[in-house]
Amino acid sequence: MKTPKRKPIEPSPKLAKSLEKALKSGDKLEVDGITIVPPTPSHKNWRVKVFFRSQAIERSGGQTLGMVNAAFLEVKAIVDSLHSGALGLPEHSAEQLADVIIDYIEQGGKDNIWKQGTKDDREDDFNHLIKLAREQKLTCAELRPSHLRTYLNGATKTATRGKHLLGVLRTFITWGNASGYFTIEQLQQVSQVKWTPPKGSTYRAAPNRRQQSKLYFGTTESAGGEVPTHDQVIAFAKACQQKFPYGEGFIHTSANLGTRANETFIFTASREIHLKGLGNFVDIENQTVMVHWQFTDDQNKHNKTTKNKKFRTVIIPPTSNIATQFDLRGWLANRCAEALKEQAAGTNELALIFPSPKGRVNNLNAFNGRVIRPASESLGWKMPAYQNADGEDMHMYRFTIHSMRDRFGTTAADEWGYSERQLLEQGSWADPQTVRKFYLGTTDETYRSVKDLHEKQVGSSLSA
């Protein structure tokens, strides 16, 4: 493998002055135990050399101050690495921490697979630590629990975010330990770190959305449901229609097909677009949707497979099996015809069923802000504020787009009679435990349905 060509690095003013003086006098220059030899009549390039335990390390420094400084820094890095090994430290522990974090993000994480969106997220996660490492000029060997606590307390104001950052940090240092940047002791020290609110803060971690739904929408008879009822799906769909031309169809599609938002956003009427990996084909003839892809904002990636990498064909249920009585098959057929006309007219290049106002794929965060949150507020689903560690108000909403997967899972299991195998295949869940834990919850009608069941059974026994 060819060695990358060294690039010049301008020296500090102090070193530049010393190098110019050595060039005029012809004398050797000693810096950090490394010898820098100026050019001579018989040798036109600078030379940088050092001995480490009888091992000679030498590099050509070219003919400019920038090149000789780059050679000096390369030799110094080699010596620092060898010193670390001699001291029992990881061989790259002398590397600058900020540079290692940036390289880790750019390479795509521990497995070199991150897409651009994930890289952007990790850059946001690590930016406070990068800034701290640069300010204090930390090497990997110098990273201590105190630095990690400073980073966590500056990077977030909530326990939930702190837990996420600790997970990201643990993965990074685990990789760094295996790659020769951190010691096993430094890896173990991560368990000694925890996010804590500022001194004097009255911060309390907020319950999650499901817990808040049960708490704030419960009655004296029962806790509030975390899975939307069919009537709530109807109300949500109508509210979203006020904010988005295809809002009603979008919500009913999500509730009856169970597709994730980034899968639904790229529903297309064009089989050709699907075959290119740019959309999930709505096959009206066969009343199915070929859900193979999800939206990715990585400009270097042509497509991205769905979560769990499951290529599946989802059945569009007939109106008779849809409790809300929404004619999903008819709506999708009409919308597909419109989308193909829009594509021909150049206003909807991908023949999307749910395009953004500019005819492109909707961005989930923007869609939430433009459609979902305003619709939720209009229905009274904005829950009471909780505060972060700075006392700033934050809110959750009773239901989200992803709540429609709750509705789909519950409907498929309780009303359509899907087997476990059919449910996992159609919903693209990883395992039965995931479905039971997150998707088969209670609704506002669960308590009443139990009462109705008993009354029905009593009535049957009396008539016998």
Whether residue 461 lies inside any domain: the answer is no
Are 409 and 435 in contact by the 8 Å Cβ rule? The answer is yes
DSSP 93: T
Residue 114 lies in a domain: yes
In terms of domains, do 253 and 399 share one?
yes
Residues 227, 376 within the same domain: yes
Domain residues for the domain of 28 are 13-86
* Residue 77 maps to a domain: yes
Structure tokens at 245: 């031309």
* Whether residue 185 sits in one domain with residue 224: no
The count of residues in the chain is 464
For the chain, give me the number of helices (H) and strands (E)? 19, 10
Does residue 21 lie in a domain region? yes
Q: Is residue 254 situated within a structural domain?
A: yes
Q: Report yes or no on 424 lying in a domain.
A: no
pLDDT tens string 177-186: 999 999 888 9
Q: Do 224 and 361 reside in the same domain of the chain?
A: yes
Residues of the chain with pLDDT under 50: 1-2
Per-residue pLDDT, 300: 55
In one-letter notation, the amino acid at residue 217 is: F
Q: What is the pLDDT of residues 310-340, one digit of tens each?
A: 899 999 999 999 999 999 999 999 999 999 9
Judge if 44 and 173 occupy the same domain: no
Q: Which amino acid is at 400?
A: T
Number of neighbouring beta carbons within 10 Å of residue 173: 21
Is the CB of residue 195 less than 8 Å from the CB of residue 163? Answer: yes
Question: Which among 363, 378, 403 is the end of a domain?
Answer: 403
Contacts by 443-451, CB closer than 8 A, 24 or more apart: 443/225, 443/227, 443/228, 443/229, 443/410, 444/217, 444/224, 444/225, 444/229, 444/232, 445/225, 445/229, 446/222, 446/225, 447/221, 447/222
User: Could you tell me the pTM of the whole model?
Assistant: 0.65
Place of tokens 């419109």: 338
Pairing of strands 47-52, 55-60: antiparallel
294/225 same-domain check: yes
Residue-wise pLDDT tens digits, 398-438: 999 999 999 999 999 999 999 999 999 999 988 888 888 77
**Are residues 247 and 223 both part of a single domain?**
yes
The answer to whether 278 and 292 have CB atoms below 8 angstroms apart is: no
> What is the distance in angstroms between the CA of the first residue and the CA of the last residue of the chain?
87
| Shared domain check, 50 and 129 | no
- The residue among 65, 86, 107 that closes a domain is 86
Tell me, yes or no, whether 182 and 277 share the same domain. no
Q: How many structural domains comprise the chain?
A: 3
Provide the pLDDT for residue 386.
Answer: 79
> Which of 367, 392, 372 is CA-nearest to residue 382?
372
The CATH number for 343's domain is 1.10.443
Whether 412 maps to a domain, the answer reads: no
